[in-house]
Amino acid sequence: MITVTERFLKYVKMNTKSDEATRVTPSTEGQLELAKVLVNELKEMGLEDVTLSEHGYVYATLKANTDKKIPTIGFIAHMDTSPDLSGENVNPRIIENYDGGDILLNAKTNLILGPSVSPEIVNYKGNNLIVTDGTTLLGADDKAGIAEIITAIEYLINHKEIEHGDIKIGFTPDEEIGEGADHFDVEYFNADFAYTMDGGAIGELEYENFNASGVKVEINGRNVHPGYAKDKMVNSMFIANEFISMLPSEEVPERTSGYEGFYHLIGINGSVENTSLNYIVRDFTEEGYKARNEKMLEITEALNKKYGEGIVNTTVKEQYKNMKEKVEPEMHIVDTAVKAMEEAGVVPNIKPIRGGTDGARLSFMGLITPNIFAGGENFHGKFEYVPIESMEKAVEVIVNIIKLYASK
């Protein structure tokens, strides 16, 4: 049997960084290459209904080995890695029996991972950590989840004494650019409910996430020769600065936590004639979410009254909603995951996702899908790492969930 670590180290070598600029699905060729590798593995393991969709989604089924009435459970992970940093030529290494101190990731740049950079790393003293070489991200988000799901399925295949119903597997592209559920075929997947293995540190269990929108602000100026500009020029960059200053300065990602929402300016491109601002807006409550979007529109209206109608144009696009309202009526899904963790010796840490997962959108598409830890820390950056022991526990949790539903 191939270990979860061996699988993980194989998958991270493949560059699957997503790219929203391509406007195709999957957005990059590397994701499709990984999808084909996964399809071959699943077929070799003997799974049924192994499918690679036209948009690069991988589906498979481990058929039930009992006639008992057991729910059909899905397990989902995403194949892409974040566009925030290179995923090419990932060079992972294992730090055995981590001593709690500093780890030199890259001698050339003197890049060090340790408690000063990542305080929680001391919790993994004595664990075996997989780290980067300090030039790329690692890809535990979410190749750890893929490796954990496939390893758990192989364990069930090799332990036929464990009763289970149909188990569905889904691997999605482009989650990191918010498109992971765009072409997910919920009807074809045909699970009663599912779990994404896409959380962070060991013990994380999440069924609440932000309500999310993307907001684009286009500001139209008027350019004339600066020597003759008095009372004629309208500098769109100054109006953009005014727009930014009219939002609450404390309600930004770097100054919020827990259940606090925010406005996040993620891009700006400007000239005298035209400036565009790209924001993402996040809030856990429906009321707060609506209020934040309305705030953006109110600022737009105020600036148009000041500078002239049509100077500022703002477009709000909903991205995903808080899955809590869909999960709470079916809390057995969360309760079973809690028990599965406890039986694996893992302390559950139920917390809101300060972000989103495929599961958020899938829950509103008819497939209730809370999120379980994959084990990694410091996602999307050079300091990303994953304890091997956390991945092994995630495999155990998947198996325990399946056992618990079979025993009911």
Give the catalytic positions in this structure. 80, 175
Query: Would you tell me the crossing angle of helices 388-407 and 4-11 to the nearest 10 degrees?
Result: 120
Would the annotation count 206 as a binding residue?
no
Burial class (CB in 10 A: 0-12, 13-18, 19+), 209: buried
Intra-chain end-to-end CA distance of the chain, in Å:
29
Compute the C-alpha angle 167/173/174, nearest 5°. 135
Compute the C-alpha angle 77/79/49, nearest 5°. 65
> How far apart, in Å, are the Cα atoms of 97 and each of 12, 119, 149, 182?
22, 18, 25, 41
Would the annotation count 78 as a binding residue?
yes
- Tokens 């010796």, located at residue: 345
Would the annotation count 198 as a binding residue?
yes
Contacts of 345 (CB under 8 A, 6+ apart): 393
d(CA 261, CA 256): 7
| DSSP for residue 220 | E
**Residue 44 phi, psi dihedral angles, 5° rounding:** -65, -30
What is the distance, to the nearest Å, from the Cα of residue 91 to the centroid of all Cα atoms in its chain?
22
Would the annotation count 231 as a binding residue?
no
Would the annotation count 335 as a binding residue?
no
d(CA 405, CA 408): 5
3-state helix, strand, coil in the chain (%, to 5): 35, 25, 40
Q: Known binding site for Zn(2+): residues? A: 78, 141, 176, 198, 380
Q: Known binding site: residues? A: 78, 141, 176, 198, 380
